[in-house]
Structure 1
Amino acid sequence: MKARTAGIFAIGLIIRLACVLWAEYQDRTMPVKYTDVDYDVYTDASREILQGNSPFDRTTYRYTPILAYMLLPNVYLHEAWGKLLFVASDMIVGYLLYAILMMRAMPEASAINYTMWWLYHPFSINISTRGNADTVVVLLCLLTIYFLMKKHLVVAAVFYGLAVHFKIYPIVYALSFLVFLDEDYDSSIKPIQTTAGVAAKAWHWLNRTRLAFGLISGGVFVVLTAGFYLIYGYTFVFEAYLYHFTRTDNRHNFSMYFYDLYLRYGTNSGFVVGLVAFLPQFLTLFNISLRCGKDIMHAQFLLTMAFVVFNKVCTAQYFLWYSAYLALVLPTTDLKGWQGAAIIGAWFGGELHWLYWAYELEMMGRNTFFPIWVAGLGFFAVNIGIMALFIQSHHHHPLFARGMIVPLTKG
């Protein structure tokens, strides 16, 4: 690693540590807190564990118990422990992005330039230093890709199973991983004859690599989930997983379904609409996985973005999930400078438009639910346009060919 690369990482770390220190000051001296309210929930859940109780005795704790155990030092050491842990995860994500690009034969100078999209991204800095755990999930997802590229299938599968257990959304990557693990990834798998029957092709599709990855990752998820079920019972299963499928949020958010669900909140029809909202999301994810799975990083960028924009609840922290893949997909696009500027302008313009109406509601007390929904529709359209532009400008090719990583043709 060259001095410039090390310096860029060091500056990214210093910025994050400075934000953690600033949070200590702002939280104690200003009415508006820097720290995310969810961080207080995590800490309270950790305190419940130390008192011999369940982390789910803390209202609104809807995460794996692992998170509460990770943050036990928040209670007996220092309340900033978790933030430092999330900052460490954040920085490791940056290193993995850099390492993945280097594994694709990108020059170091170019690799670190693209990695800066993460290291200096306001979202990644803000979310980790405010005490949100989403960087941990992003880290687990990238560790899965990293170890697949290293051909450490078992390790990759363990990290993927842990990622899905930690937060359910990475389940959307499952089919893309299976599409990816074909004979191009494992060259010892012999191609099947085109004249083979349907049954033979189906059996060939279930190759040993796919079976191993699926069984190991699924096994990790089942063992962890079953273990915590035995300890904490149905409450754990509902709060950590089922709640997110049945959730119909009456609070304003970026989702295009927000206003309809708000008007139907607490009714049977609202519950049904919430379930129906999964259909277009599922069909989009299924199509992307089948068509783009062999180009796994491009596929997972699109899958994450589609999942977020089609979701029935969409908050700002979700944007972090697909921002993590920008460093990996930008090198394979033909986007011009003006197109990049237009994307950034449209995205932030759509978000700021929504935030204006949200401010009017929250701070001024005005009834702006309908304008918020209209702004959400506009933001949805912007995101769909961005996805279409990335698809159109992307160089589509598999990550692996004949068992070897395909080098990037653009750096």
Structure 2
Amino acid sequence: MRLADISPATWIAIGLGLRMALLGWGTYQDANGPLPYTDIDYQVFTSAASYMYDDCPVQLIAARDPEEEYEDLIDPPVAKGRCAQGYIPAAARLMIQMEKDFLTMDKDTEIGRQEDPVAQVMTDLVPTIYKAFKPIFRLLAGLGNPYRRETYRYTPLLALLLTPAEALADNGYWPDVVQGLFGKLLFVLADIVVALLLWDIMDIRSEAQSANSKASKKYGWLVGLLWLANPFTAQISTRGSSESVLGVLVLGFLDVTIRGYPERYLPTIAARPKGKKASVAGYLPDPSRWSNERVLAPLLFALAIHWKLYPIIYAAALVPHLMSSESFRAVIRYGAISVYCLALICGTVYALWGKPYIQETFYYHLSRTDHRHNFSPFFLPAYLSTKLPSSLTEADLFQSLQPILGFVPQLLATAYIGFSIGGQDLVAALSFQTMAFVALNKVCTSQYFMWFLWFLPLLGPHLSFPGGKGEMFTLIGVWVAAQALWLSQAYLLEFKALDTFTRTWLASLVVLAAHALLIVRLINAWALARLQAQTVADKTPTNGKQKALPASIEEEKE
């Protein structure tokens, strides 16, 4: 049986089977192995969820007299650092502390009875209203602070997503099993949703190119092979990393974006009648009207940025894409909705969790100097800067500027790629932007590779390597070999306590070079495929009518 003949349902079954097997093995290894299978990040997530669910003692807070100082409402003295520190929980704490005042309002005062009928009505309504909203007040007042867990640098929504496990465990439903597997099963489910989105995006692009059959039927095996049946992606989610949830948001925003603002493919518009301007007008559905997709797309984009800051780099690709799909009006519309939704989401989260949210999810990343070894070459300069004498003014200056300077190559590379390619192929632009961002990031670990791996099944059908499959496998081999070289040195440094800092840093440079080579060769392969498709289009007689063109060079050969 050919890979192309395997149905999506079969691929999903294979993916689920692989992940269930890894979950079983991981449970065994955690209990018996010398090294745990579960990632340390999962322990951070579950601890943060536990602190959020049941760490703020609402009973003790309610028993106190109404606080006179606002700071004592934000951070109650009886539970320092344990409660959510936003305006909304603070107001809720004040409400429950004033419960006696609300429930014992004097209805027999002369004012309430004679002089002010409105006040009399209010004294009747206030206790009733308070009783109705009391459960909500207590829920908000007792909302915990997930940032009490050290090293939790994520949105509180992630911890909130895992709180059902804490509620089940709190009620005696197999606490150890539920807390150990709930989040992992959620991330596995997100893996499946990612695959479904990939297939859907393939079909959308196929329809936009007037293909005769759905691309998911022909190239769906790429999703199965590179994502569902890939041991690397499977072990990331089963170890407890939440990257697949981010994948749902990123691919969700991409899916809805190209529905509302179709991509402008060169193969699609190349066969236009003579004299027509290079525009998608007349070849794609009229994009001038508002639609659900045009509201949902920027909303998901904003949510993806809130979840993890880096998707903001995709704005550089969205601008030329929106302009080529419609006009500058689309850029204004998309940008305005995105900014509004992002402000609404971040504002709501800030109103609930306060300053710790801003500090840990925004300021921390701007000032972060991660001196732990990772694939990035930045780790060694950061490490050395912490060892220089503090009396050196130059060292202090470098240490303060290094986190900011680290963003410069990332921003320049991703902006250039986005503006250069976004108007031609949004999927390719996002793919190459992400690869460049990960390669140049101050911190680069294996789970970050997930950020561009979920684009590869979409990019694959639109690549044509000059050296054929041999070149493709060579690039994969170079990429894997570079990581193996780095891991060999990092193992000696971390687990054997050998002084391999220099060799690890040199291996990091090799990894960076491998990423650079991969990006350059993939861009060349993408450009070659488009050039070949353009050549075919120019040689194809149209007789004044648009002709369906190959989505990739593979279709041309057939």
Normalising to structure 2: TM-score of the pair?
A: 0.66
Matches within 5 A, 1:258-407: 258-265=379-386, 268=396, 269-294=398-423, 295-335=425-465, 336-395=468-527
Q: Which amino acid aligns with 2:164?
A: P
Q: Letter of the aligned partner of 2:518 in structure 1?
A: I
Q: Give the drift of 1:220.
A: 1.7
- Compared CA separation, residues 150 and 377, structure 1 to 2 (3 A): same
Does residue 123 (structure 1) correspond to residue 123 (structure 2)? The answer is: no
Report if the CA contact (8 A) 1:297-1:325 is conserved: yes
Q: Residue 22 of structure 2 corresponds to which residue in structure 1?
A: 19
8 Å Cα contact 2:11/2:229 also seen in 1: no
The runs of 5 or more residues in structure 2 that have no matched partner are 57-143, 169-177, 207-213, 261-292, 388-394, 532-547
C-alpha distance in 2, partners of 1:213/1:123?
A: 35
Q: Distance in 1 between matches of 2:530 and 2:363?
A: 37
Letter in 1 for 2:489: W
Measure how far apart 1:5 and its partner are.
2.5
CA shift at 1:38, angstroms? 0.6
Equivalent residue for 1:82?
Answer: 183
Please tell me whether residue 242 in structure 1 is matched to residue 333 in structure 2.
no
Q: Deviations over 1:198-238 (max 9, x none)?
A: xxxxxxx3x1x212211222222111211222222221111
- Displacement of 1:3 in angstroms is 6.7
Residue deviations 1:19-50 (CA, integer Å, cap 9, x gap): 12222222122231111111111111111111
Q: Extract structure 1 runs of 4+ deviating beyond 4 A.
A: none
Number of the residue aligned with 1:48: 51
Structure 1 unpaired stretches of 5+: 190-204, 399-404
Deviation for aligned residue 1:397: 5.9
Cα pair 1:36 1:130 within 8 Å, conserved? yes
Cα-to-partner distance string for 1:88-147 (whole Å, 9 max, x where unaligned): 111111111112112222544422122121112232111111111111111101001111
Any conservation in 1 of the 2:51–2:145 contact (CA below 8 Å)? yes
Greater Cα radius of gyration, structure 1 or 2: 2
Q: Secondary structure at the match of 1:14?
A: helix
| Residue 256 of structure 1 pairs with residue 377 of structure 2 | yes
Whole-angstrom distance in 2 between the partners of 1:26 and 1:320: 24
- Identify the range of structure 1 (125-134 vs 277-286) with the bigger mean alpha-carbon deviation: 277-286
- 1:44–1:58: 8 Å Cα contact kept in structure 2? yes
Q: 1:163 aligns with which of 296, 304, 313?
A: 304
Structure 2 counterpart of 1:176: 317
Question: Following the alignment from structure 1 to structure 2, what is the Cα–Cα distance between the partners of residues 382 and 332?
Answer: 22
Separation in 1 of the partners of 2:251 and 2:195?
Answer: 10
Give me the identity figure in percent: 34
Distance 2:353 2:369 in 1: 25
Report the CA distance between 1:407 and its aligned residue: 6.8
CA distance in 1, matches of 2:426, 2:167: 42
Secondary structure of the residue aligned to 1:260 is helix
- SS of equivalent to 2:386: coil
Q: Is the 8 A contact 2:371 2:383 kept in 1?
A: yes
Partner-residue secondary structure (3-state), 1:359: helix
1:406 Cα deviation (Å)?
8.6
Residue 150 of structure 1 deviates from its aligned partner by: 2.0
Change beyond 3 A, Cα 1:75–1:318? same
- Indicate if the aligned counterparts of 2:200 and 2:216 stay in contact, CA closer than 8 A: no
Instruction: Choose 375-384 or 225-234, whichever is displaced more.
Output: 225-234
The within-5 A match list for 1:116-155 is 116=224, 117-151=226-260, 152-155=293-296
* Contact 1:248–1:265 (CA under 8 A) maintained in structure 2: no
Preserved CA contact (<8 Å) 1:148 1:156: yes
Please tell me the root mean square deviation across aligned C-alpha atoms, in Å. Answer: 2.0
Residue identity opposite 1:348 in structure 2: V
Question: TM-score, normalised to structure 1's length?
Answer: 0.89
Kept after mapping to 2: 8 A contact 1:248/1:271:
no
Of 392, 408, 411, the residue aligned with 2:551 is: 408
Amino acid of the structure 1 residue aligned with 2:241: N
The 1-side partners of 2:463 and 2:160 are apart by 41
Aligned mate of 2:219, from 93, 98, 111: 111
Q: How far apart, CA to CA, are the structure 2 residues paired with 1:363 and 1:406?
A: 55
Amino acid across the alignment from 2:300: F
| SS at 1:394 equivalent | helix
In the alignment, what sits opposite 1:37?
Answer: 40
May I ask how many residue pairs the two structures share in their alignment? 385
Classify the secondary structure of the residue corresponding to 2:7. helix
2:198 to 86, 94, 97: 97
Provide the secondary structure at the position in 2 that maps to 1:375: helix
Tell me, in whole angstroms, the C-alpha distance in 2 between the residues paired with 1:157 and 1:107: 26
Say which is worse superposed, 100-109 or 283-292, in terms of deviation.
Answer: 100-109
Aligned counterpart, 2:108: none
Q: Which amino acid aligns with 1:214?
A: G
| Residue 380 of structure 1: how far off its partner (Å) | 0.3
- Letter matched to residue 310 of structure 2: Y
d(CA) in 1 for partners of 2:376, 2:189 = 31
